[in-house]
A and B are shown apart, each in its own frame.
Chain A
Amino acid sequence: MGYPCPVTRSAAASLLACAGAVVLASASQSPPVPRSLVSLESRPLSSGVEVGAPVLALAFLPGDRLAVLTAGDLRLGRWRGGALEPLGAWPLPPGDPVRFPGGVLQAGEESVWLLRSGLPRAHLLAADEGGGLLERGQADALPWPASPTGLRYREGTNLLRGTLPGLGDGPFLAAAAGTAGSPALGVDPDGRVLVASDAGPRPAGLLRAGPALVRLGEGLWAAGSAAPPGPADTILLLAQEGDDVRLAGEVPVAGAVRALASSGVGDVAHLVAAFDSPTGATLVAFEVRRSAP
C-alpha cells in the first residue's frame, strides 16, 4: 500500500521513484493553461511492466483484462497485482509501411475492435473462454459511438479521420467518445484539445495534448502531454467545469506517453499508461480519484 506524497515539477524525474503521489494542479505549460478547481489524487499501483514493443493503444475489457495493441499484434492479458498475465495474442495482418503508426481499440463486453494505420480495414476480435483472441469480423472503418462514418486512418499517418458528433471531420490525433454526462473530446494534429458541442468543436482553452487520450469517468479525462522532445513526459488529468475542460493535475512519467486505458470503479478510476522505454514500452497503473475539497 502506498502513501500519497506531493509531486512537484522539480521532483518529477521519475514517478517510479515515488511510492505514491498527490497530483497537484500546476501550471507547467507555457503559456499557462487555466487550472481546474477540481482536485485529483493519484498514486501508482505498479512498478512497471515491460512490453517489449512500442504500444499503440490500450483498452480494458471486463474482468481486469487489458488489450495491448502493438505494431505487430494485439495481446490480451489479465492485469493482476501490478503484473500482466498473458491470456492470448492475435498477430496483425501485414500492412503498408507507416513510419509512426497509430492505433485505436474500442472495447466491448467480450470483444474489441482494432484499427491500426497501415491496415486497410478494422478488425473485430473476440476473446474466447481460454483467453484467446479470434477474429469475428472486419469493417471498412472502426465503429465509433454515434459516428455515421466510423474512424479510419489518413493514409500513411497516425491521423484519424471520420465524422464525430460535435467534433467534426477531423483529422484527429486522438478522440474520446462522449457520454450523457461528458462531452466528447478530440485532439487535433497540432495537439489542441477540442471539446465537442452542438456548434462544432471548441478549443479547450490553451490545453494541448499528444495522441493518447482516455475518459476516466464523468467529466474526467487523462491525456499524454504535447511536450517537446525529451526522455520524460506528463500525463495530463483533465476535468470538466461547466462547458469548459481544464487541467486538473499532472503525473510525470519516465518516457513519452503513447497509450492510456482506464476502468472505473465508483469514484475511483484505474488508469494504465504505456510510455516509451529502451526495450519498447512500459506499462504503469495508477489510481485516480477526486480528493476532498
Chain B
Amino acid sequence: MKRPSPRVLLPAALLAALAAPSPAALGPRYGGELRVAVSELPSSLAPTAAPGAARRLALRLVHETLASLDPDGQPGPGLAEATALGASEREWTLTLREHARFHDGAPVTAADVVRSLRAFARGPGAAAARLARRLDGGPAYRAEETDHLPGVAALDERRVVLRLAAPLPGLFAVLASPAAAITGVSGAGAGAFVPTLLVPGQRLAVTAFADHVRGRPYLDGVQVLAFADREAIVGEAEARRVGLAAGEAGFEAEVASLLLVLDPARPPFDRREARAAVVGAIDRPLLVGRLVPGGTPAPELLVPSILPPRPPAPEPGPASAPRLAGEVTLAVSRDVPPPVSQRVLAHLQALGLRVRTRPTSPAVASEAPADVRLLAYAPEAPEPAVAIEELLALAPLPPARVQAVRDRLDAADGEIEPERRLAVLAEAHDLLLEELTLVGLGHMPVRYGGRGLVHGARVAGTGALVLEDAWVEP
C-alpha cells in the first residue's frame, strides 16, 4: 500500500478546495436557519458507533474528530492540522490546531485527545476494534486486562503520538469515525454547531459555533426534527416546513447497502438449503432496480466506492428453491424503503413461510432478535477493512469462517500495494457471502432534499448529512 506521506492532510485539503465548484455571487451566505426532517433522533449526543443516518447527522453536527474525510474518502485535517510518520513507520505524530476549542471555550489539548482515544479504544464498533488491535498495548487494554495503553501518548500540549504494533491502513478513516470524536472533560464537543436543545428522540436544535476549527458554519442554526413515519416527513417537505427531508431527492450519495441477514442459529435458516432458497427467491432487479429510486441491484455487500466489485460468484437459482414451512420474524430497519420491505415479505411468503414483521430503529436493527433482518447498511467509516469488520459482527458465522475472514483482514493490512490490498479484502468479502447468512440486495443512495434553496450540503460515506458548509438562499 502506498502510505500517506508526512503532512498528507494539508495537501489533500488544498486539492479538495481547488476542486470545489464556483459558488454564486451572493453565496455562500452567512445566516439563516435550516430545519431537517428525519426518521429518528438519538437520546444522547455522546460519541458512538451506532448506525443510522439521522444519528450520524446529529453527531456530525456537534462533534469533531482528529481527521476528516472528503467526499472521495480522502483524509483531510480535523482537529489535527498536521501529521508526521516517524522513521519506524509505526509512529504517527498528530499536531492539534493552535486555536482548536470546545464549545465550552476550553482549548482542545493533547490530554483531551488521549482521554478520548482511550475511551474510543475500549468502546463498541468496528473502527475502535480495528484501532485497538493495532495500537501498541491495544489488545490487552481493550480486553480490560490493563489500563496501560502505551500506543497513545501526549508529547506536549498540542502533539499526540500514536504508536502502532503493526501497520494500520486507513488509520485516518478510523480516526474520522463518529465514535472517535474528541470531547472535553465536561463532555463538550468541538463540532461546527453547539447543541442548545435535545428532546431525546424528537428534536435537536443547534447553533453556529464561531470558533470551529474550519471556521464558523454559514447557517446560524439547524433544527433536526424526528417524525414517526415516512408520510409525515414527506408532508413536512411538501408543506415547506423543513428545508431538507430524509429520503427526498437533492443531496445524495450511494453509500448504503440493502442487506438481508439470515440467522443460522434459528430454524429454518439453520439449514443451508433454506438460506439458499431465500437467496434464490430474491429478485434484485425488481427489489432495488425498480423499487428504490437511484438504487443499483447488486449482490455485493459494500458499495463500489468502498470496495470495487468483482465478478459475482454463482448463486443458487430460483429453480432450486424448495418450499419452506414455519413462522419467522422479519425485523425491518425503518430506513429501508417500504416498497423493498413489502417485496421481501412477499418473497418470504412465496417460499411458504409465515412472516411476522417488526419495524425497528436503525440504531438497533443490526442486533434485533429476529430470524431475518432487513437493513440499509452504511459503514461506520467508509473504509473497506472497517466495513468488513462490521459485517463480520453482523452475521453469525462459524468460528472457522470468522477466523478465515480475520486472516484475510490481517493479510490485507500487510499489503503495501493498494490494488493487492483491495484484492485480499475482496476475498474476505466473498468469504462473508459464502455462508449465505448475509445477502446483498443492492445499493441505494442516502438522500436529503427539499425546496431547492439549500446549497453546500453533502452526504458523507457514513450516510451522515454534512451541514457545516451548507447555506440557504434568502
Contact = CB atoms under 8 A, between A and B. Distances in A.
Interface stretch (A10-18, A74-82, A220-228): A220-228
Interface in B204-221: 208, 210-218
B267 interface: no
Chain A binding surface, main DSSP class? loop
Contact of B216 (A155, A226, A233, A278): A155
A228 B23 CA distance: 9
Contacts of A245: none
A99 B31 contact: no
A196 B186 CA distance: 48
A173 B30 CA distance: 10
A255 interface: yes
Interface in B23-69: 23-31
B410 interface: no
A191 B216 contact: no
A227 B474 CA distance: 11
Interface of B: 22-31, 99, 208, 210-218, 455, 469, 473-474
Contacts of B216: 98-99, 155-157
B23 A229 contact: yes
A233 B215 contact: no
Contacts of A190: 29, 31, 474
A96 B99 contact: yes
A231 B217 CA distance: 23
Interface string A194-205: 000000000000
Which 4 A-B residue pairs are closest in the complex by CB-CB distance? A156-B216, A190-B474, A210-B25, A99-B215
Contact of A227 (B24, B29, B214, B215): B24
A131 interface: no
B26 A227 contact: yes
Most buried by B among A156, A211, A256, A277: A156
A208 B29 CA distance: 14
A155 B217 CA distance: 11
Contacts of B31: 159, 189-190
Contacts of B24: 210, 227-230, 233, 256
A42 interface: no
Contacts of B215: 96-99, 118, 156
Nearest to A159: B30
Interface string A145-157: 0000000001111
Nearest to A156: B216
A230 B22 CA distance: 7
B23 A256 contact: yes
Interface in A152-179: 154-159, 173
B28 A99 contact: yes
A99 B30 CA distance: 10
Chain B binding surface, main DSSP class? loop
A89 B63 CA distance: 39
A225 B24 CA distance: 9
8 contacts: A96-B211, A98-B215, A156-B215, A189-B474, A210-B24, A229-B23, A229-B455, A256-B23
Nearest to A99: B215
Nearest to B99: A96
B250 to A, nearest CB: 13
B255 to A, nearest CB: 24
B218 A226 contact: no
Most buried by A among B30, B214, B215: B30
Given A99-B218, A211-B26, A278-B22, 4 more contacts: A157-B216, A210-B25, A227-B24, A257-B25
B469 A256 contact: no
Contacts of B99: 96-97
B11 to A, nearest CB: 17
Nearest to A158: B30
A227 B216 CA distance: 23
A75 B26 CA distance: 24
Contacts of B22: 231, 255-256, 276-278
B30 A189 contact: yes
Interface string A95-118: 011111000000000000000001
B25 A100 contact: no
A13 to B, nearest CB: 15
Given A97-B214, A156-B215, A157-B216, A211 B30 contact: no
A145 B33 CA distance: 34
A238 interface: no
A19 B46 CA distance: 61
Most buried by A among B23, B29, B208, B455: B29
B28 A100 contact: yes
B25 A155 contact: no
B140 to A, nearest CB: 40
B26 A226 contact: yes
A258 interface: yes
A248 interface: no
Contacts of A98: 215-216
Nearest to B471: A100
Contacts of B218: 99-100
A66 to B, nearest CB: 21
Contacts of A173: 26
Given A99-B216, A156-B210, A225 B25 contact: yes
Contacts of B25: 210-212, 224-227, 233, 256-258
Contacts of A255: 22
Given A97-B215, A190-B474, A155 B26 contact: no
A278 B20 CA distance: 9
A97 B455 contact: no
Contacts of A209: 26
A210 B25 CA distance: 6
A208 B26 CA distance: 9
A256 B213 CA distance: 26
Nearest to B209: A156
B267 to A, nearest CB: 57
Interface string A222-254: 001111111101000000000000000000000
Nearest to A234: B25
A248 B376 CA distance: 55
A54 B161 CA distance: 36
Contacts of B474: 189-191
Contacts of A191: 26, 29, 474
A97 B23 CA distance: 19
Given A189-B29, A189-B30, A190-B474, A99 B214 contact: yes
Nearest to B31: A189
Contacts of B27: 229
A230 B455 CA distance: 12
A194 to B, nearest CB: 14
A118 B72 CA distance: 29
A158 B25 CA distance: 13
Contacts of B208: 156
Contacts of A99: 28, 214-218, 469
A130 to B, nearest CB: 32
Contacts of B473: 228
